[in-house]
Amino acid sequence: METATSFGGPFILLPKRLADDWSKAIGDNPEPDSGLYGEVCGSEDFMHLITFQGITVVRIAEEPSDLFWIPDERGGLVLQWIGADSLDDLIVFGQEVASTSEWQETLEFTITDPELRIMDSCGFEGDDQPKIDLSIDPGEYQISATYAEDEDTMATVFRLTKKD
């Protein structure tokens, strides 16, 4: 399981080969109301799509809480830790939510690059912030999201699934 952390802004899922170009395009002083960072911050939804250099980038997880990637045979889960007594509790809760939940949001997009990265939208190589690098088969995908809580755990759960 891999983890990504944030400086305080939203996360993105993008082809790993574009990570440096993305960082340069965001710049040193990004403004949440303009430019590329404005596109990232331009929605209150759990996620939205951004086109960058002709490729789809997914903005996920508006809050800066840590993310955890749990791969499976058709994609995987991204769990955003909002509140939990332990990582084990978060994982069990997230897997339960993913297996029984009705999703609040769903997006469809194409993955063309098999090497992807989940990172802080203002992140860059060498910034010491953990990033999630994952390998995914190219194809048509759906990403779904929902927020869920019980008496001990709060999380936003994202399921990335390859479509048949």
pLDDT at 149: 96
pLDDT at 54: 95
Which tokens in the block code for residue 84? 């939990």
Domain map (residue ranges) of the chain: 2-162
pLDDT at 74: 87
For domain 2-162, is the CATH number 2.60.34? yes
Q: Checking phi first, is residue 53 left (phi over 0); if not, alpha (psi -120 to 50) or beta?
A: left
Enter the DSSP assignment of 79. Answer: E
pLDDT at 29: 84
pLDDT at 152: 94
With beta carbons less than 8 A apart as the criterion, state whether 1 and 76 touch: no
Give the max Cα distance, the chain: 43
3-class DSSP assignment, residue 26: helix
pLDDT at 122: 93
Q: What pTM did the predictor assign? A: 0.93
Strand partners, 99: none
In which residue ranges of the chain is pLDDT below 70? none
Q: How far is Cα 149 from Cα 125, in angstroms, rounded to an integer? A: 34
Q: How far is Cα 40 from Cα 34, in angstroms, rounded to an integer? A: 10
51's enclosing H/E stretch is strand 47-52
